[in-house]
Amino acid sequence: MADDPAVPNALSPGVRNRSVAEGDVPDALRRRYYVDGRGGAGLGFYVDAKVAAPAFRDRGRQLVAARSDPNTIRDMTAIAQHRGWSIVVARGETSFRREAWLVGRSAGIEVRGYRPTERDIQELDRRIERRDRSGGEPRRRAREADDPGARANLRVVEAVVRARVAEPSAQQRIMASARERVAGWLERGARFEPLQPTGRAAVVEADLNRERRRER
């Protein structure tokens, strides 16, 4: 997708029946910004009480940013995750869509609208590794340990991945994605029942298909 000046930098949900209410944001994020409903459609989120332009605007079905600022994209992604947008569509500048893909995939969200390069995939792997080394992995493992169903399901997924995917790096990407999704669901209060045998392959089929497309 080429850059088009007429297309704003924006994230929107790629799934139905998810929250699209203006102002539905994590409390911690709201406390970091000044929020004002004037100056354009939706709510403006300002980093300072004196700045004229918002970092981004919340239009309910769209989160729109003027620039490709990584911190802004991180916060927009946190709102998407808070609203249950397990799939988001990124539009706008290439730099915005690339960063949205990196941040979203790091958070376990599927991001459409950007086709990653091999270097983007390597960058994603390194971001996940840095986050895990800084404490993300222990917290995630602790959440999994509190839910026996989550642990059992991940063991099943790992067995299926190892049986069907030969490349170790691809195995790692799929398992990292699966663990991120499970962690996100656990944070939102979900609880897991053990997978039935007939449903095991379906759990990883989407990730396997993405890996096959990547290898072409």
Measured distance CA(43)–CA(25) in Å, rounded: 11
Q: Give the pLDDT of residue 138.
A: 52
Q: Name the token pair of 80.
A: 């998407």
Helices and strands counted in the chain (H then E): 8, 7
Strand ranges of the sheet holding 110-112, from the earlier edge strand across to the other edge: 34-36, 43-46, 56-58, 63-65, 9-13, 87-91, 110-112
Q: Give the pLDDT of residue 96.
A: 97
Per the rule left: phi > 0, alpha: psi between -120 and 50, beta: everything else, 74 is alpha
Q: Name the token pair of 209.
A: 């298909």
Q: Give the pLDDT of residue 47.
A: 93
Residue ranges of the chain whose pLDDT lies below 50:
197-201, 203-204
Q: Give the pLDDT of residue 200.
A: 45
Per domain, the residue ranges of the chain are: 9-112, 118-215
